Amino acid sequence: MTKSDNVIVVKGLKKSYGQNEVLKGVNFTVKRGSMLALLGPNGAGKTTTVRILSTLLAYDSGSVQVEDYDAHQEADKVRRVIGLTGQSAAVDELLTGRENLVMMGQLYRLTKNSAAARAQELLEEFDLVDAADRPAKTYSGGMRRRLDLAVSLIASPPIIFLDEPTTGLDPRSRIAMWDIIKSLMAGGTTILLTTQYLEEADQLADQIVVIDGGKVIAEGTAKELKSKVGKDRLELLFKAEKHYTAACELLSKAIVDSNDKEHSLTLIINDTNKDVKDVLEKLSDKNIPVESIVVHKPTLDDVFLSLTGKQTQTAKVEEQ
Amino acid sequence: MAVELVFQKRPKPIQAMLDAFIMIKRSSRHILRNTDQLLGTFFQPIMFLVLFAAVFGGAISKALPEGVSYLNFLMAGIIVQTVAFGSTTTAIAVCNDLQKGIIDRFRSLPMNNLAVLSGHVISDVFRNGISTIVMLLTGLLIGFRSHASVTDWLIIAGILLLFTLAFSWLAAIMGVLAKSVEGVQWMSFVIVFPLTFASSAFVPTEDMNSVLRAFAENQPITQIVEAVRALILGNPIGDYGWLAAAWCIGILIVAVPLASWLFRRQSSR
Ligand SMILES: Nc1ncnc2c1ncn2[C@@H]1O[C@H](COP(=O)(O)OP(=O)(O)OP(=O)(O)O)[C@@H](O)[C@H]1O
Ligand SMILES: [Mg+2]
């Protein structure tokens, strides 16, 4: 039997906790060797989805296939081909990093020698050699996350689930984690990653699925999603109040946002080159000098905002 | 990737046993590395033994049969009590695994998940064995003497092994049901304390009031204490031997599947 090209196929997935319907019919497919990012705010159902895919949780209805095996009925077979890095680090605190790796390797059915050699290799790759023989409870948050990821790679499974792998990491550690993830992708691993960071999805993923409230609300490549929100925006800044007011009157129809204090206003433009030129010409015809102009391309944050009506965490932080 | 990965494929039952071995190693490492708990393993039984012998010895020895010293009487009780209280360790270990994310890791692996429970239970047997030996040695130092033959000691070891297994599996159930480590401690206190004190572990049951006595004489701890005590003192064991074994095996028959079922259910939420 040749393996199908779709490694993960989720159809009409539903899951409730009591009265609380957490997944309301989720669909997506992950192609072999690609990365799909599941993007969504707190409580969207990302972890629930990952737990179901990694056999930890039974689902109510729909179908969930990993390598053509049912994630619930054939959990044993699925477990042989997946690695899971959960949202909270799942390492044994009293064991050393090396002991954690070797133990999990053996539980994956690796021979002892093979597990030990692979453990050494991963410790080197993840920059944990110095801490290898210390109990994991003495590790920093970033080290623990790295160990956690290393543990899920011990048997080099062809499919990896990463549930918010960079949440809580400092920018340096985050970039280091991205590098690790990129090298996994280069090695042909199929990856499903969840994240609240649009930048992360933008940087890493081949395909993005945006979920909110247990439903897929958008899907596509980063580029496709951005183009869905579409239009570029033109921001104009004026030095004097009277010029600002005059410009407001002149361009009133196209203005989508304005700021009286900063004397700035924002227009939606369809054809960037032509529209910018037109606007500037109009203003110079009326002798209104412009202090500065900026063209904003839509970011994934905009996508997110326009899809969910909520702001993302990154956007909130940037605003402050 | 430089390292070539070698997987092995064995029949399922053998695989399950190997998983249990790996988990026993893990739990034993936990016990050895948890220094506070380790100190407890050594000093708590010594403290109880010495304190009980000194405090109750004078008063209770009058109620004992001719020629039986309180220390010799107490030894069986204090060993059983230590094992009963010590089973809390299993409960805490199980509870900890479930509360922390580690259980998700184990469950995502192609392993036999019940090995997590048997690992804790069996490493607890080792720990209890060490506690018991420490107590016996301390006892010898302060005047404990026994008439038991080598065969008697082997039977004692067998009964205590069954008892430890039975109580650790019961503790595993507590560990699964409790929502926190504090909860475990509470539960075990409320269950184990009355069981050990309303028994013949520390005092003969003859002088208890009738209700208490009826309870004390028919509950498992007393059967086990009496069986071990008879062997230690060189008395005939009577019905106590098979009663003790029956209780332990009965508990195991109920507790092992129940703990496993609860564990599976709890961990798949
Ligand atoms: N064990 C549970 N019992 C009851 N409700 C739960 C349980 N686990 C999750 N939920 C609920 O399901 C919803 C989705 O949770 P989930 O953990 O999947 O979100 P998430 O997208 O991973 O969020 P976050 O970004 O915060 O990790 C939430 O409303 C949560 O309260
Ligand atoms: Mg989550």
Task: CATH number of the domain at A164, please.
Answer: 3.40.50.300
Distance between CA atoms of B74 and B49, rounded to whole angstroms? Answer: 8
pLDDT the model gives residue A148: 93
Q: Which amino acid is at B197?
A: F
Query: What is the percentage of chain A residues whose pLDDT exceeds 70?
Result: 94
Q: Which ligand is nearest to the CA of A211?
A: 1
In b/e form, how buried is each residue of B92-115, taking b as 16+ CB within 10 angstroms? Answer: bbbbbbbebebbbbbbbbbbbbbb
Q: Radius of gyration over alpha carbons of chain B, in Å?
A: 20
Q: Let me know if residue A271 belongs to a domain.
A: yes
Q: How buried is A181 (Cβ within 10 angstroms: 0-12 exposed, 13-18 middle, 19+ buried)?
A: buried
Decide whether any atom of ligand 1 lies within 6 Å of the A19 Cβ.
no
Q: Let me know if residue A151 belongs to a domain.
A: no
Decide whether any atom of ligand 1 lies within 6 Å of the A87 Cβ.
yes
What mean pLDDT comes out for the span A134-142? 92
Distances (CA, A) of B99 to B175, B208, B260, B269: 10, 42, 17, 12
Q: Let me know if residue A120 belongs to a domain.
A: no
Q: Are residues A216 and A164 in the same domain?
A: yes
Q: Are residues A60 and A171 in the same domain?
A: yes
pLDDT confidence tier of residue B1, bands split at 50, 70 and 90: low
Q: Are residues A287 and A203 in the same domain?
A: no
pLDDT beyond 70 at B18: yes
Residue with tokens 């599947």: B257
Distance between CA atoms of A27 and A5, rounded to whole angstroms? Answer: 17
Q: Do residue B105 and residue A56 have CB atoms under 8 angstroms apart?
A: no
Would you state the structure tokens that stand for residue A92, as one six-digit string? 């044994």
Q: Let me know if residue A1 belongs to a domain.
A: no
Residue B86: CA count within 13 A, CB half-sphere: 34
What mean pLDDT comes out for the span B211-233? 92
Ligand 1 centre to CA of A53 (Å) is 15
Distance from CA of B47 to the nearest CA of A (A): 28
Q: What is the pLDDT of residues B182-218, one digit of tens each?
A: 999 888 889 888 999 889 888 888 888 899 999 988 9
Q: Are residues A77 and A165 in the same domain?
A: yes
- Nearest Cβ partner for B29 among A54, A94, A109: A94
Q: Let me know if residue A187 belongs to a domain.
A: yes
Nearest C-alpha neighbor of A177 from the set A195, A159, A158: A195
Q: Are residues A75 and A161 in the same domain?
A: yes
Distance between CA atoms of A162 and B108, rounded to whole angstroms? Answer: 13
Nearest C-alpha neighbor of A299 from the set A163, A217, A197: A197
Residue with CA at minimum distance from ligand 1 atom 13: A43
The CATH number of the domain holding residue A237 is 3.30.70.100
User: For residue A309, what is the DSSP state?
Assistant: S
Distance between CA atoms of A300 and A305, rounded to whole angstroms? Answer: 8
Q: Are residues A76 and A161 in the same domain?
A: yes
Distances (CA, A) of B76 to A314, B73, B159, B170, B237: 65, 7, 11, 21, 13
Decide whether any atom of ligand 1 lies within 6 Å of the A46 Cβ.
yes
Percent helix, strand, coil in chain A, to 5, is 40, 30, 30
∠ at Cα A249 (A243, A253), nearest 5°? Answer: 135
Distance between CA atoms of A220 and A218, rounded to whole angstroms? Answer: 7
pLDDT confidence tier of residue A316, bands split at 50, 70 and 90: very low
Confirm if A50 and A161 have CB atoms less than 8 A apart.
Answer: yes
- Highest-scoring range by mean pLDDT, B8-22, B95-109, B248-262: B248-262
Q: Tell whether B9 is within 8 A of chain A (Cβ).
A: yes
pLDDT the model gives residue A279: 87
Domain with A289, as residue range(s), is 231-297
Q: Radius of gyration over alpha carbons of chain A, in Å?
A: 24
Q: Which of A192, A227, A262 is the last residue of a domain?
A: A227
Q: Which amino acid is at B189?
A: F
Residue with tokens 């939420």: B269
- Would you tell me how many other CB atoms lie within 10 Å of the CB of residue A22? 19
Distance between CA atoms of A146 and A153, rounded to whole angstroms? Answer: 11
Q: Which of A182, A197, A227 is the last residue of a domain?
A: A227
Q: Let me know if residue A201 belongs to a domain.
A: yes
Q: Are residues A215 and A236 in the same domain?
A: no
Q: Which of A67, A81, A94 to mutate to test the interface with B (most CBs of B within 10 A)?
A: A94
Q: Do residue B6 and residue A113 have CB atoms under 8 angstroms apart?
A: yes
Distances (CA, A) of A251 to A86, A235, A268: 51, 12, 11
pLDDT the model gives residue A176: 87
Closest residue in A to B15 (Cα–Cα)? A109
Decide whether any atom of ligand 1 lies within 6 Å of the A17 Cβ.
yes
Q: Which of A76, A77, A108, A109 to mutate to test the interface with B (most CBs of B within 10 A)?
A: A109
What mean pLDDT comes out for the span A151-171? 91
Distance from CA of B84 to the nearest CA of A (A): 25
CB proximity under 8 Å: A 47-66 to B: 51, 54-58
Q: Do residue A90 and residue B3 have CB atoms under 8 angstroms apart?
A: no
Q: Tell whether B269 is within 8 A of chain A (Cβ).
A: yes
- Nearest Cβ partner for A156 among B1, B104, B105: B1
Q: Tell whether B7 is within 8 A of chain A (Cβ).
A: yes
Q: Let me know if residue A103 belongs to a domain.
A: no
Decide whether any atom of ligand 1 lies within 6 Å of the A38 Cβ.
no
Would you state the structure tokens that stand for residue A267, as one six-digit string? 């227009």
Q: What is the pLDDT of residues A261-303, one digit of tens each?
A: 888 888 888 777 888 888 888 888 888 898 888 888 777 677 7
Q: Are residues A261 and A197 in the same domain?
A: no
pLDDT the model gives residue A259: 85
Q: Are residues A163 and A206 in the same domain?
A: yes
Q: How buried is B258 (Cβ within 10 angstroms: 0-12 exposed, 13-18 middle, 19+ buried)?
A: middle
The residues, ordered by sequence, that sit 6+ positions from B7 with a Cβ below 8 Å of its Cβ are A108, A109, A110, A111, A114, A155
pLDDT confidence tier of residue A309, bands split at 50, 70 and 90: low
Q: Do residue B7 and residue A106 have CB atoms under 8 angstroms apart?
A: no
Q: Would you say the ipTM is above 0.85? A: yes
Q: Are residues A40 and A68 in the same domain?
A: yes
Confirm if B207 and B63 have CB atoms less than 8 A apart.
Answer: yes
Q: Are residues A11 and A76 in the same domain?
A: yes
Q: Let me know if residue A96 belongs to a domain.
A: no
Confirm if B241 and B84 have CB atoms less than 8 A apart.
Answer: no
DSSP conformation letters of chain B: --SPP-B----HHHHHHHHHHHHHHHHHHHHHH-HHHHHHHHHHHHHHHHHHHHHHHHHHGGGSPTT--HHHHHHHHHHHHHHHHHTHHHHHHHHHHHHSTHHHHHHTSSS-TTHHHHHHHHHHHHHHHHHHHHHHHHHHHTT------HHHHHHHHHHHHHHHHHHHHHHHHHHHH-SSHHHHHHHHHHHHHHHHHTTTTTS-GGGS-HHHHHHHHHSHHHHHHHHHHHHHHT---TTHHHHHHHHHHHHHHHHHHHHHHHHHHHHT-
Q: Output the average pLDDT for chain B.
A: 90
Distance between CA atoms of A233 and B195, rounded to whole angstroms? Answer: 76
Q: Number of structural domains, chain A?
A: 2
Decide whether any atom of ligand 1 lies within 6 Å of the A51 Cβ.
no
Q: Are residues A167 and A269 in the same domain?
A: no
pLDDT beyond 50 at A155: yes
pLDDT beyond 70 at B40: yes
Q: Tell whether B210 is within 8 A of chain A (Cβ).
A: no
pLDDT beyond 50 at A313: no
Confirm if B115 and B18 have CB atoms less than 8 A apart.
Answer: no
Q: Output the average pLDDT for chain A.
A: 88
Q: Which of A185, A202, A227 is the last residue of a domain?
A: A227
